[in-house]
């Protein structure tokens, strides 16, 4: 073959297209990923440095309010020994409950001075990571409703009245955490797990009224920046079901399934706790548990 033809074919195969007539289209996305934020355990001297006084000014502080850190959930006595949570007999409840607590999340998507996204959350018990039906693991709905919306919360609002008890110095009664001078404020979103009372959550005996089995359990709180996925409702042939208005109907929300097609990001916090069976024949007698009759004052 003539070399001139070879060269021409090579140019054609390369298909070099000039980019002067190509235009780009900006697609709105979800640039900031949601993340759950937790304060780091610090020595007491660091916390003391965060307490402003009339004589000195605060120069460095923990990044976020304490809330409840993920990990083991347990009560301890004065010497540090764990006081167990127990599966009580029918008609009894555990007086060792988990006080209501706050969980904080944020992302960098901003709308003027505040966060651009609305955050939603759900509580899941013993979630199977391989499941395609996470809504079957929804738990503690009376303490944390599925799809709970987070409330915007500024660190500048920290006062003794809106902090967890663990955020307040027992000796002075003053908050021990204040806004950081150096951390960028991404607009915290706060969730509260637990009833708005001093009753707390009986983890082992009150999962929507059901008792848990003895053993280790995991409470997962998932936070996402889009409403949870609600699939279209289809008939037996896989065709969309239309309403009287002609619009496609939606199936029940799949709590725990982020709507990835809508650009959702998500984060989770895992809390591990153990339930033991009350070994005593009569609750409250010769037992390490703290079960009492449900109608006890």
DSSP character for 50?
A: H
Residue 119's pLDDT band (cuts 50, 70, 90): very high
What is d(CA 38, CA 269) in angstroms, rounded to the nearest whole number? Answer: 10
Task: Determine the pLDDT at residue 28.
Answer: 56
In a domain, 13, yes or no: no
In a domain, 55, yes or no: no
Tell me: pLDDT of 207 over 60.
yes
In a domain, 42, yes or no: yes
Task: Determine the pLDDT at residue 167.
Answer: 56
Residue with the larger pLDDT of the pair 21 and 211: 211
Task: Determine the pLDDT at residue 204.
Answer: 96
Task: Determine the pLDDT at residue 285.
Answer: 59
In degrees, rounded to 5, the angle at the alpha carbon of residue 242 between the alpha carbons of residues 238 and 243 is 150
Task: Determine the pLDDT at residue 236.
Answer: 76
In a domain, 266, yes or no: yes
Q: Compute the average pLDDT of residues 241-247.
A: 77
Q: What 3-state DSSP class applies to 286?
A: coil
Structural domain containing residue 206: 32-49+60-293
The count of other CB atoms within 10 Å of the CB of residue 71 is 11
In a domain, 8, yes or no: no
Q: Compute the average pLDDT of residues 248-273.
A: 91
Quote the tokens at residue 7.
């060269």
Residue 12's pLDDT band (cuts 50, 70, 90): very low
Q: Using alpha carbons, select from 260, 267, 293, 195 the residue that is nearest to residue 37.
A: 267
Q: Compute the average pLDDT of residues 69-84.
A: 90
Q: Compute the average pLDDT of residues 56-79.
A: 74
Q: What's phi and psi for 280, nearest 5 deg?
A: -85, 145
Q: Compute the average pLDDT of residues 50-78.
A: 69
Contacts (Cβ under 8 Å, ≥6 apart) of 3: none
In a domain, 18, yes or no: no
Phi-psi domain of 112 (left: phi exceeds 0; alpha: psi -120 through 50; beta: other)? left
Task: Determine the pLDDT at residue 7.
Answer: 42
Task: Determine the pLDDT at residue 169.
Answer: 53
In a domain, 219, yes or no: yes
Tell me: pLDDT of 196 over 50.
yes
Q: Compute the average pLDDT of residues 182-191.
A: 76
Q: How many domains does the chain have?
A: 1
Which helix (H) or strand (E) segment holds residue 124: the answer is strand 120-125
Task: Determine the pLDDT at residue 164.
Answer: 55
Query: pLDDT tens-digit profile of 52-61?
Result: 554 555 445 5
Signed CA dihedral, 130, 135, 141, 147: sign only: positive
């Amino acid at each position: 073959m003539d070399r001139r033809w070879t060269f021409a074919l090579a140019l054609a195969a390369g298909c070099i297209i000039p980019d002067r007539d190509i235009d780009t289209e900006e697609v709105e996305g979800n640039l900031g990923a949601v993340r759950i934020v937790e304060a780091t355990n610090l020595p007491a001297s660091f916390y003391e440095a965060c307490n402003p006084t009339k004589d000195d000014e605060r120069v460095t502080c923990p990044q976020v309010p304490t809330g409840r850190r993920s990990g083991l959930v347990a009560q301890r006595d004065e010497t540090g020994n764990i006081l167990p949570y127990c599966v009580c007999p029918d008609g009894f409840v555990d007086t060792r409950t988990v006080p209501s607590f706050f969980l904080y999340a944020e992302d960098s998507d901003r709308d003027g001075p505040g966060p651009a996204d609305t955050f939603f959350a759900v509580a899941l018990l013993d979630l199977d990571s391989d499941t395609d039906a996470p809504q079957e693991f929804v738990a503690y709905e009376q303490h944390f409703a599925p799809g709970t919306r987070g409330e915007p919360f500024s660190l500048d609002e920290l006062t003794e009245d809106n902090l967890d008890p663990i955020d307040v110095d027992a000796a002075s009664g003053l908050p021990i955490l204040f806004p950081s001078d150096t951390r960028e404020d991404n607009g915290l979103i706060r969730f509260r797990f637990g009833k708005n009372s001093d009753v707390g959550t009986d983890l082992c005996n009150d999962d929507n009224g059901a008792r848990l089995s003895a053993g280790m359990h995991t409470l997962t709180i998932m936070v996402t920046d889009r409403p949870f996925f609600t699939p279209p409702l289809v008939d037996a042939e896989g065709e969309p079901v239309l309403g009287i208005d002609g619009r496609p109907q939606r199936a029940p929300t799949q709590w725990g399934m982020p709507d990835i097609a809508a650009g959702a990001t998500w984060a989770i916090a895992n809390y591990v706790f153990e339930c033991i069976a009350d070994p005593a024949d009569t609750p409250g007698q010769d037992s390490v548990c703290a079960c009492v009759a449900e109608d006890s004052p």
